[in-house]
Amino acid sequence: MAEIWNGFIRAIELIISLDPEVMEIAGRSLMISVTSALLAWAICMPLASLIHFNRFLGKRALINLIQTFYSVPTVVIGLFVFVLFSRAGPLGGFNIMFTPAVMVVGQTLLITPVLLGLTISALSGVDKSIVDTARSLGASGLQAAFVVVKESRFAVVAAVVMGFGRAISEVGVALMVGGNIKGFTRVITTAISLETSKGDLELSIALGIILIIIALAINLALNRIQQRS
């Protein structure tokens, strides 16, 4: 009990003193997950628009398919990316295994289905009369579509924030393709899952607290965004 308590006190000290190792790991976590979230947004926004604004056979089925990928296990994505980028894999030539780059690829892949699904529902959530209004005021089809995208912006930002939340809190992909290499690919979740067993309790607790703070900040942000839309 005393050991946990001491670990907790020292963890607080680590955070307050802006311990270089803690800050470096937290910073890398943020960097990788923010990049993943933005990359996923860059993929999902046009893709979702394409799906939403076009009528085609199997649209409903496609959206259902996307939704089934919402809860794909992180280790499955990890395995998939591992096979893809390992030396013998089809994309092995990129030689990015166990680098932050491949972690970004993995996390982007992980959150793309959720982000795509949520972006599509953000677009469909825009009142149909918005399109009519735009068209009646002389907007072309493309201009009207832009209006809808603009109207959906708060819901889309909320989706991106949620995607970021999922990315920063997952451990499967980061561990399998990142490898928890100290000073290079070690992020909050991989550090906690591996350093705890090695006895570095204070580092784990400090990182855990930071992760909780980030989660709180995400929730706060989501609430604010929801109020605006």
Residue numbers at the binding site for other proteins (CB under 8 A): 127, 129-130, 132-140, 143, 147, 150-151, 154, 229
Q: Which is nearer to other proteins, 148 or 174 (CB)?
A: 148
- In the complex with other proteins, the residue whose CB is nearer, 28 or 52, is 52
149 vs 167, beta carbon nearer other proteins: 149
| C-alpha–C-alpha distance, residues 9 and 223, integer Å | 31
> Reduced to 3 DSSP states, what percent helix, strand and coil does the chain have, rounded to the nearest 5?
80, 0, 20
Q: Which is nearer to other proteins, 152 or 190 (CB)?
A: 152
CB count within 10 Å of CB 179 equals 16
Least separation in angstroms between CB 122 and other proteins: 13
Minimum separation from the CB atom of position 133 to other proteins (A): 5
Distances (CA, A) of 91 to 70, 81, 119: 25, 9, 29
CB of 130 vs other proteins, minimal distance in Å: 6
Full DSSP string of 110-142: HHHHHHHHHHHHHHHTS-HHHHHHHHHTT--HH
Q: What's the min distance (Å) between Cβ of 148 and other proteins?
A: 10
Question: Which residue, chain included where needed, has tokens 């096979």?
Answer: 83
Structure tokens at 118: 């949520």
Alpha-carbon distance 142 to 161, whole Å? 27
**CB of 134 vs other proteins, minimal distance in Å:** 7
Minimum Å distance from CB 140 to other proteins? 6
Do residues 209 and 222 make contact, with C-beta atoms less than 8 angstroms apart? no
Q: Name which of 9 and 137 has its Cβ closer to other proteins.
A: 137
Which one-letter DSSP state was computed for residue 86? S
Specify the residue, 141 or 199, whose C-beta has the smaller distance to other proteins: 141
Q: Which two tokens stand for residue 17?
A: 């003193």
Number of H helices, E strands in the chain: 11, 0
